[in-house]
Structure 1
Amino acid sequence: MLLACVLLCALLVLPPGVALAKDATTKTSGTKKVQVKEKDYWNQFRGPNGDGKSVARNLPIEFSETKNVRWKTPIHDEGWSSPVVWGNQIWLTTGREDGSELFAICVDLESGDIVHDIKVFDVANPQKAYGGLNTHATPTPIVEDERIYVHFGTYGTACLDTKTGKKIWGRRDFNCDHRVRPASSPIIDGDSLFLHFDGVDVQFIAALEKKTGRTLWQKNREVDSDLGAVLKAEGLSDGEIEATKEEKPGDNRKAYATPTIIEFQGRQQLISPAAEVTFSYDPTDGEELWRVRHPGWGWNAACRPIFEHGLVYFTTGFSKHLLAVRPSGTGDVTETHVVWSAKRSAPSIPSPLIVGDLLYMVSDQGFASCLEAGTGRELWKERLRAGGYHWASPLYADGKIYFCGKKGIVSVIAAERKFRLLAENRFEASFIASPAIAGDNIILRSLTHLYCIAEDYERTKVAYDQRAGRDYAE
């Protein structure tokens, strides 16, 4: 009787919508605040420098659904955008499965509480096809002090106030047919915001004034290419070529890559992979500086280029080549400035990673490999034992590389000249978004949840706050 009375009293004093905790996340050592320097905020796709590297230390190597999980928050609907961090805020986007509504969500870094859940756009006629290959909310936003820029490709781009959640400006007049929905992420340099639109119908890059959304310049970039000739060179029969051209007209025009800004010999360049060609532009006015043609089926490029050792490294989409290019010269420099190229186990979706003089990458099929960045010589290639597809780009921190797989396994290896597996961490989840770092926390986005991974936390079961809609720590 006494026990029943205690339980009844507990139910009466619980806030509305909060269920009794069936379990809890507990801190197994002293409490500590998240400490992040502004220059190290993971504010864009692949981090502060766009290269997948973090200066963080003391990150967990081993974790799971219960081990070293600080909090776990459900994210409604679906999106593959990667989380970005500014201060104590984590931002990401999501959208209805049918694409009719698109949202920006802000999660508190300390608690996992949802701070903002903002409907950014209603979409009258979202693309219906190819649902299994992409979502309507795949481009990763970019955040800075008091502002976040969310991008949904042809559906629209907006700037939001990160404190109030109010829309500062929006653009919905840049349009293309992505065919497989949008994926290119925006980037910022100075006062400019850069956007890719590489559809099967039109292809262009635009620079906006980030404060107002006003167009600074727009550069069309259709490549003179014959889809039939490319397919024939790759060995397809006449019947296969005609079927492809009828089923997927303009398929060789589309791309999903994210640009990057480099400085070479005192001049800035905007490195911008498109379908069949990677371009270099002057970011101030869009003047083309040079271009490199992709080999073979060089469309569907989805990487973000990286710049190290005086070379630009990028992958080429369907043709699965990795190129290292010297960013000088003018015009078409394909025959003169490609220092080396590699095809063995090169990915079509994940971007590569360079640590010191070594380049690491994971193929879509889950083969990790290490090359000498200066020469392209392969040092090792290993299938991650976890297996399965990998679409997320790898992350480096503190001598370790993290690979997130679609089967819900995060493999951790040592960043060394010989392959050394440190851990395989299994979740009841699927990872497509690339991971982020916030201080000594790893932020993982699965298809359904956002995880904060940190040392010395133990999550025993699922405590669910119905009002906040998240798992929480007691």
Structure 2
Amino acid sequence: MKPRLSLILSVVVSAVPLMSARGSDSWPQFRGPAGDGVAVDQSPPVAFGEDDHVAWKTTLPGKAWSSPVISDGVVWVTTAVERVPSEEEREALLRNTNNDARKFKQLAIAKAIELKLLAVDLKSGQHRQTIDLVTVETPDAIHATNSYASPTPFIDGEHVICHFGTFGTFCVDRRSGEVLWQRTLPLEHGVGPGSSPVVHKGRLILIQDGMDRQYVTALDASTGQTLWTTDRPPMEAPTGDQKKAYCTPVVVTDSTGREQLLCMGSQWMVSYNAETGEEFWRLYHGKGFSVVPRPVLLDDVVYFATGFGKPELWAARIDGSGDVSSTHVLWSVKKGIPSKSSPLLHDGLIYLVDDNGVASCFDPESGDLVWKKRLGGKFSSSPLFAGGHLYFGNHEGEVFVLTPGEDSEVVQTNQVQGQIMASPAAIENALILRTDLALYRFE
């Protein structure tokens, strides 16, 4: 079923000042300034909790797993306020979808959703704006562990780009709250949206890997007009379920000066020309699908997880052309790899935590295991490095703080109320943490 959209005018509560969204004084995208979870020159607290080092705690409406983005003293978050059906209504709504009845227990569905962009004051935690973007009647079903607002927004200069997959993409003026443009790019996500947007040199890059179609597209960030669209490589899969993916792109310049757009997907890691959409190279990684983790890079090597099925961690050189599947793979690891949380690379080591709470450290040159530690709980949030420590947050509201390095140890376990699905931010020597209930500033 295709959702029915009705645009709602913006409601501006107060003005937001404008400056640049670059540098260590901002957190403009999923996983921070460089998109890798590393916070430069930040020293957030190691120990914190509901009554410890909390500057403020602000309740947020709706349900969303999107991470906070920050600039000019304002924290921006998206959310989806659901009109929740009764159990009988839920069954009827699901029967009207293309989903197999045997999978109904794994799915959630709303009668309608109100998609919003919220602005929270970084210093005080007070709500500064509520911008109503769109109401979607009879939206598609999503996985029960997903939300209707999982992609993280992107701060592009004076604008905030909000992406909700098939439910709409919006460009919002940070000062006035005006919606400057919106696009709807229909896609059958299968279990809901997940891939976050990236803006590079005026181009809004969207990975559109659905069950019905898989492609990457670039929109003009100032107008929303399509600049280019490139289909993904052919896949061998019995159904579209094993072709879908939810990864966020990465832009990198290799040692030859070639600027690459790396778009991980099911079965293939692909490099594109961000200006034209032309493919530089492709690498077949196997049958992995529903890929979520965002890749990380060191010099001319990309490190990426292969998604659901049997998650693996791969290392490959990015200096090739054409099909590099048999020539540019350096190593792969087949155990203890997450299907949701992204890896973190810092000071010559790769850190990650799998879905079931086992943290690992690998040597990026060889792929050898350096250490493994059981933290406990379920994990979707990606780790953060800040102030000389690693931060890992789980579904149970625990945040484990570890020292980095070969002799790493857990130095603190913190507890907050609610579920942690969003990835944290570090700014002004504070930790900005979102749960399913609230937004926190710890300092």
Match of 1:113 in 2: 126
Matched, 1:213 2:198: no
Match of 1:313 in 2: 303
Give 1:327's match in structure 2, choosing from 276, 296, 318: 318
Give 2:381's match in structure 1, choosing from 373, 381, 392: 392
* Deviation of the 1:222 alpha carbon: 5.0
The one-letter code matched in structure 2 to 1:325 is A
Q: Secondary structure at the match of 2:242?
A: helix
Q: Secondary structure at the match of 1:349?
A: coil
Matched, 1:429 2:418: yes
Aligned 1:54-453 pairs, distance under 5 A: 54-97=39-82, 98=110, 99-130=112-143, 132-172=144-184, 174-221=185-232, 223-227=234-238, 249-264=239-254, 265-295=256-286, 297-318=287-308, 319-384=310-375, 387-453=376-442
Normalising by structure 2, what TM-score?
0.87
List per-residue Cα deviations over 1:412-465 (Å, max 9, x = no partner): 0001112311100011221000001121111000001000111xxxxxxxxxxx
Q: CA RMSD in A?
A: 1.4
The one-letter code matched in structure 2 to 1:267 is R
| Aligned equivalents of 2:358, 2:408: Cα separation in 1 | 12
The total of aligned residue pairs comes to 393
The one-letter code matched in structure 1 to 2:278 is E
Q: Secondary structure at the match of 1:437?
A: strand
List per-residue Cα deviations over 1:331-373 (Å, max 9, x = no partner): 2211110111112211111110011111101101111011111
Query: Which of the pair is proportionally richer in helix?
Result: 1
| Aligned equivalents of 1:400, 1:343: Cα separation in 2 | 27
Q: Secondary structure at the match of 1:123?
A: strand
| Aligned equivalents of 2:380, 2:271: Cα separation in 1 | 25
Q: Secondary structure at the match of 1:154?
A: helix
Kept in 2, the 8 Å contact 1:38–1:87? The answer is no
Match of 1:28 in 2: none
* Deviation of the 1:307 alpha carbon: 1.3
Percent sequence identity over aligned pairs: 39
| Aligned equivalents of 1:176, 1:57: Cα separation in 2 | 39
Runs of 5+ unmatched residues, structure 1: 1-35, 228-248, 455-474
Matched, 1:51 2:36: yes
Runs of 5+ unmatched residues, structure 2: 1-19, 83-109
The one-letter code matched in structure 2 to 1:175 is P
Match of 2:8 in 1: none
1:37–1:417 CA distance, 2 compared to 1 (3 A): farther
| Aligned equivalents of 1:278, 1:112: Cα separation in 2 | 40
The 10-residue stretch of structure 1 (102-111 or 214-223) with the greater mean CA deviation from structure 2:
214-223
Kept in 2, the 8 Å contact 1:56–1:437? The answer is no
The one-letter code matched in structure 2 to 1:321 is E
| Aligned equivalents of 1:299, 1:74: Cα separation in 2 | 35
Q: Secondary structure at the match of 1:335?
A: coil
The 10-residue stretch of structure 1 (403-412 or 57-66) with the greater mean CA deviation from structure 2:
57-66
The one-letter code matched in structure 2 to 1:142 is F
Match of 1:16 in 2: none
Structure whose CA Rg is larger: 1
Q: Secondary structure at the match of 1:79?
A: coil
Kept in 2, the 8 Å contact 1:86–1:144? The answer is no
**More RCO (CA 8 Å, sep 6+):** 1
| Aligned equivalents of 2:50, 2:128: Cα separation in 1 | 23
| Aligned equivalents of 2:151, 2:209: Cα separation in 1 | 13
* Deviation of the 1:186 alpha carbon: 0.2
* Deviation of the 1:395 alpha carbon: 0.3
* Deviation of the 1:124 alpha carbon: 2.6
| Aligned equivalents of 1:341, 1:421: Cα separation in 2 | 27
Kept in 1, the 8 Å contact 2:300–2:319? The answer is no
* Deviation of the 1:117 alpha carbon: 1.0
Q: Return structure 1 stretches of 4+ with deviation > 4 angstroms.
A: none
Q: Secondary structure at the match of 1:251?
A: helix
| Aligned equivalents of 1:187, 1:116: Cα separation in 2 | 23
Normalising by structure 1, what TM-score?
0.81
Kept in 1, the 8 Å contact 2:261–2:272? The answer is yes
List per-residue Cα deviations over 1:284-309 (Å, max 9, x = no partner): 111111111122x4101101111113
List per-residue Cα deviations over 1:224-260 (Å, max 9, x = no partner): 3133xxxxxxxxxxxxxxxxxxxxx421111000000
Kept in 1, the 8 Å contact 2:27–2:427? The answer is yes
The one-letter code matched in structure 2 to 1:411 is F
Match of 1:39 in 2: 23
